[in-house]
Amino acid sequence: MPAAPALQPLTDSEIGELDDLLTSVPEPLEPLDVVMLDGYLCGVLAQPEAIPVEHWLPPALDWNLGDPEQPDPGPGLTPDTPGWHAAKHERLLALATRHHAVLERQLREDGWFDPLVMEPQNDEGRPLQGPAAIGPALAPWVAGFEHALSCFPALESLSDPDLPDLLACVRRHLPAQEDDEAEFTRALDAEHPLRGLDEAIEDLIGNVVALADLARERRLKVDTVRRAGPKVGRNDPCPCGSGRKFKHCHGKGEGG
């Protein structure tokens, strides 16, 4: 059965349109470009708790919202921001949320997605080949993914034995690394060298899907625990121990 129209992947022209909209966001805001946004949304979707659009959209439209050195970056983008207008805002939101929904479905149902990656070129305008193409092509995407982890740290707080290696396999494509990360990257390159861009993209996809699966398993466990206890009746004593009926305490506003 074909996907519903709202969940159809963005066409090439829509991807270009989204990138143009992001580029036109007025200063001093610093929006992600469409490649970084793609990585950022995968980082959002790889969290153990669902992140609502009102939380994930602002950092996508201003990099400074995820910068710990910018504690007060100012108001984010709104339809009334000077130099911006409501029609652009509505279209940008529609394209970004649709892309988010498509990625969520692909990660959950397909265990696969097609990352937006630009083909890097040398100074003469020719495509880079072999390992030389990997870093320039994947670093912007991974920077967007890392931006999501900076804004939403729940994934990194999980105590799963596979998590550090999975994250390191994604971060190997970032140019700036801490000493321990750089050492791990050198070990990865020695033990599991990536011979070209296609192989590197496939490796990246596998690691991001594994991270999303790990987070989803944690989310399902949390939901199961939350729903495991018996439902409290409105006339039962409130579980908080106040001695009041549930409907007059923490059950206010629930039910009739």
pLDDT in tens, the chain (256 residues): 455 555 899 999 999 999 999 999 999 999 999 999 999 999 999 999 999 999 999 999 999 886 656 666 567 899 999 999 999 999 999 999 999 999 999 999 999 999 999 999 988 989 999 999 999 999 999 999 999 999 999 999 999 999 999 999 999 999 877 777 778 888 888 888 899 999 999 999 999 999 999 999 987 665 444 444 455 566 666 655 556 665 566 565 555 4
Alpha helices in the chain (DSSP H): 12-23, 34-45, 53-61, 86-105, 134-151, 163-171, 179-191, 197-226
**What is the DSSP code string of 9-45?**
PPPHHHHHHHHHHHHTSPTT-----HHHHHHHHHHHH
Question: How many C-alpha atoms does 117 have within 13 Å on its Cβ side?
Answer: 23
What number of other Cβ atoms are within 10 A of residue 51's Cβ? Answer: 18
Which distant-in-sequence residues (6+ apart) come within 8 Å of 171 by Cβ?
A: 142, 146, 177, 181, 185
Give the CA distances from residue 65 to residues 27, 28, 253, in Å, rounded to whole numbers and listed in that order. 14, 12, 34
The confidence score (pLDDT) of residue 245 equals 64
Cα angle value 170/171/175 (rounded, 5°): 135
Please tell me the distance from the alpha carbon of residue 181 to that of residue 175, in angstroms, as a whole number. 11
* CB 40, CB 144: distance < 8 Å: yes
Cα angle value 182/191/141 (rounded, 5°): 50
The confidence score (pLDDT) of residue 228 equals 41
Question: 111: alpha, beta or left, given left = phi > 0 and alpha = psi -120 to 50?
Answer: left
The confidence score (pLDDT) of residue 229 equals 46
At how many degrees (to 10) do helices 197-226 and 34-45 cross? 40
The confidence score (pLDDT) of residue 248 equals 62
Task: State residue 231 phi and psi, 5-degree precision.
Answer: -70, 135
Q: What is the pTM of this model?
A: 0.81
Residue with tokens 């490796």: 203
At how many degrees (to 10) do helices 34-45 and 53-61 cross? 150
User: Which tokens is 120 given?
Assistant: 């890097």
Query: Alpha-carbon dihedral of residues 107, 41, 202, 164, nearest 10 degrees?
Result: -90
